[in-house]
Structures are given as structure tokens and as C-alpha cells.
Amino acid sequence: MITIVRYIVIGAGAVGGTIGGRLFQAGHDVLLVARGAHHDVLRRDGLRLITPDSAQTLGVPVTRDPVRLRDGDVLVLAVKSQDTVAALDPWPRNAPVVCAQNGVANERTVLRRFERVYGMCVWLPASHLEPGVVAAYGAPKSGLLQLGRYPHGTDALCERIAADLSGSMFTGTAVPDVMRWKYAKLLGNLGNAYEALCGRAPGHEQIMKRVRAEGRAVLDAAGIAYASPEEERERRGAQVEVRPIEGVERGGGSSWQSLARSSGSIEADYLNGEIVLLGRELGVPTPANEVLRREADRAARERLSPGSMSPEALAALIDAEDRRTGPAPA
């Protein structure tokens, strides 16, 4: 069995902080990579990991700069897709990289620079809005993490990582078709921009029906396989249920959190934008996804708060784009 010396988690936010914190709790050697105020609080006070069952402060080692790699180190990349190249650029190219990220473009981007690349399909409800603090809402397991070698297959390292995750309050599974699961997750993540722009205001059903219809039409036209919603529900089962944390209000998903933190960027180019890109290549109109991509980018640049747009205003923009580009898939 392969021995992993250390997990180096690049990006210690909601996903990376939960993965790193849980692995550390289980006795694994972990190094978090963070920046800014988050790094400073982690270094001074430790990682405050709050779950439905406990709240612990963990003394996980942290750095803001690359460190000398040891044989057996694994890089776990948990930054937003728009930060992938910058986050990995300073690191030596001889380590395996696990892309614990939304979207489907990261693995190919990383493969240009690193020989051993693994995709991870992440189902992990968590938030990070305050430096040093991560709230993980999943229970009884904190997340379902499916991973495989990119572009396909599994190997001994993949199996070892899955086993370590399964011993660390996750359901870790090695799968040979990880990208099929990640494309299914992409279809679900097409709603992230809507949540960031409009919050949980009523009126999302018709918009999201259009958004996901475009996504399926584009993937079908491209011949790209994706798991069905039924397969996703069956795989997740009751292993990871979103449960409340006393005293901690749950906001939105990853894109909502980007606006809430006024980060200045958002991952819509790699979610809705992936559908737009494929649609342009194949001649399939994607007006709803284009508007969500464009408006989410604008909201991030202008540092607007989550929920700053009404569903009616968003629907009107989609209708205007639809008239300009032609009918979208039914």
C-alpha cells in the first residue's frame, strides 16, 4: 500500500479547510496553504472547524509560500478555478495534484504542468466567511469525495487517498470515470451564479430550467457523458445530509460566498462559462448561461452583495439575450 507522507492543501477555504482539518483530526500530516488575513489567523490561533456535532480549534501547520516537497507529498488543490494557474505555478512539478474543485477545466490545465493529475468530484456543504473559521454542515459524514486519475482510471495512490478520506469523516471513493461525475456536478453548479445574484428569492424555477436545459443540450451535442440525477442521489444516499449548526447561520454556496467576501472574482467563467464555450464551439445557443456568466462576473468586479439582482431583472436580460442570439434549447 502506498504511504502518503503529507497532504498539502492549497486553498484553505470552505472545501480545503474542511478536507485539511478532517485529515489532521484523523492523524495525518497536513499543511494548509492560505493567504492574507486567513493565513495570519490560522498561524496565530489555528483553524476553527465547526460542524453540526462539534467545534474544535486545530493547530494545523500553515504557510503562505511553497515549501520543499518530500517524497510522498500530495498537493490538494482547493482554490477557485480562476486561481488555479497562479496557485500552482510556484510549486515543483514532480508532485501528484488532486483537483478538489468545481468545474471541469482544471484537470486539463494542471496536466499541462504536472504529470500526475487526479480529479475529485466534491459534494461538501461548507462555508468560509471569517478568517480562520470554516463551517462544515455535512453529517454524518462531512462530504462525499469521489476521485480518479485524469482523464480516466484509478491507481494505487488514488485508492490510498480515498481510504485516508474515508477514515477522516468523509466517504472517499476511487472511481475510474471521475469526469463523468464532475460533468454531472457541473450541471448542478450552473445554479451557483443565480444564487449569488438573486439569493433565495422565489422565481428561480423557470430560469434554472432554461439554464440546465442549455447545459444538457450542449453536453449531449458534444457527446460528453454525465451521471444522471438519480445516480447522484443514489451515490450520495444519506451519507452527507445538510444539518444546521447552532449559532452559525448558513449562507449560500461557493459563488454566493465569493460575493459575500467581496473577493473581486467569481468562478462563473468555469461553470456557466464552460457551457457557453462548448455552445459557441458547437453552434448551440446558450443565452441563459451567458447572462448568468456575464452578470456574475460584473457583480464580482463591482463587489456587489449577494442577492443584489431581482429574478425579474435577470429574466429580462436572458430574454433580451435570447432574442439577440436565437432560441435556446427547449
Q: Residue 330: what pLDDT?
A: 58
Residues 6 or more apart from 40 whose CB is under 8 A from it? 131
Length of the chain: 330
Q: Which domains occur in the chain, in start order?
A: 6-176 (3.40.50.720), 182-325 (1.10.1040.10)
Residue 206 pairs in a beta bridge with none
Question: For residue range 7-21, what is the model confidence (pLDDT) as tens digits?
Answer: 999 999 999 999 999
Q: Can you give the pTM of this predicted structure?
A: 0.95
Residue 328 pLDDT > 80, yes or no?
Answer: no
pLDDT at 46: 98
Give ∠ CA 51-54-56 in degrees, rounded to 5: 95
pLDDT in tens, 18-59: 999 999 999 999 999 999 999 999 999 999 999 999 999 999
CA distances from 110 to 49, 143, 298 (A): 29, 24, 27
Q: Is the pLDDT of residue 179 over 90?
A: yes
- Which stretch of 67-76, 198-207, 222-231 has the lowest confidence by average pLDDT? 198-207
> In whole angstroms, what is the distance from residue 120 CA to residue 174 CA?
9
Residue 1 clears pLDDT 90, i.e. is over it: no
The answer on pLDDT for 242 being more than 70 is yes
- Crossing angle of helices 178-189 and 229-236, in 10° steps, is 110
Residues 89-108: tens digit of each pLDDT: 999 999 999 999 999 999 99
